[in-house]
Chain A
Amino acid sequence: DAKTTQPPSMDCAEGRAANLPCNHSTISGNEYVYWYRQIHSQGPQYIIHGLKNNETNEMASLIITEDRKSSTLILPHATLRDTAVYYCIVSLWVNTGTASKLTFGTGTRLQVTL
């Protein structure tokens, strides 16, 4: 699986948009970009994933560059409850039913402040 690079930490004011970058310059054509977050002492929470098109759901938006070498997770209106470690992970999507592994890096610690 391709390696990802994320800034170790970021701050964001409550109510503002949080933009979390991720570099994955060695991503291959059949690898998806997944975002998870882990709030302290809990299991990771799935946020969103995408291949090459931008994606949006009720939690966040995912913007993937045209060359797919980087992406940005956007939390449109951050709240204090969004304070967590955010992981950007690149993983294969295998349609044969074989599950793909997730390799967690160190992520970005997002601190949302008043």
Chain B
Amino acid sequence: GAVVSQHPSWVICKSGTSVKIECRSLDFQATTMFWYRQFPKQSLMLMATSNEGSKATYEQGVEKDKFLINHASLTLSTLTVTSAHPEDSSFYICSAMRQNKNIQYFGAGTRLSVL
């Protein structure tokens, strides 16, 4: 159990366009989901914490107007990168916390390339 699905697995887009990434917990309910970003040869950096039905909490330095997070249900959170630019190219990874377990289970990640 504890499967987290992330879609798409990779996306290439033109500069200025918006990209939506979905994160779903397939076999459990997740009151909290997290979004991370990982640049090449670096570790994961937390971008934001998303609680179902409320506004996301963003980490310092992460632009909330650029990285829109919606957590409308207990099994789905979305990250929209608005007006993407080449510097937004990265590996985006979501995780979902199983209720009352305090264990984060991660999706497979989305590789975003902005041309």
Question: Chain A interface (Cβ within 8 Å of chain B)?
Answer: 32, 34, 36, 38, 41-46, 49, 87, 93-94, 97-107
Contacts and interface: CB of A to CB of B under 8 A. Distances in A.
A84 to B, nearest CB: 13
B93 A99 contact: no
21 contacts: A32-B102, A34-B103, A41-B111, A42-B109, A43-B6, A43-B93, A43-B94, A43-B95, A43-B109, A44-B93, A49-B103, A93-B102, A97-B31, A99-B31, A99-B51, A99-B97, A99-B102, A101-B46, A102-B34, A102-B46, A104-B45
A43 B102 CA distance: 18
A86 B93 CA distance: 17
Given A43-B93, A44-B93, A97-B31, A103 B105 contact: no
Interface string B80-115: 000000000001011101011011111111010000
A82 to B, nearest CB: 17
Contacts of B54: none
Interface of B: 2, 4, 6, 31-32, 34, 36, 43-46, 49, 51, 91, 93-95, 97, 99-100, 102-109, 111
B26 to A, nearest CB: 14
A53 to B, nearest CB: 17
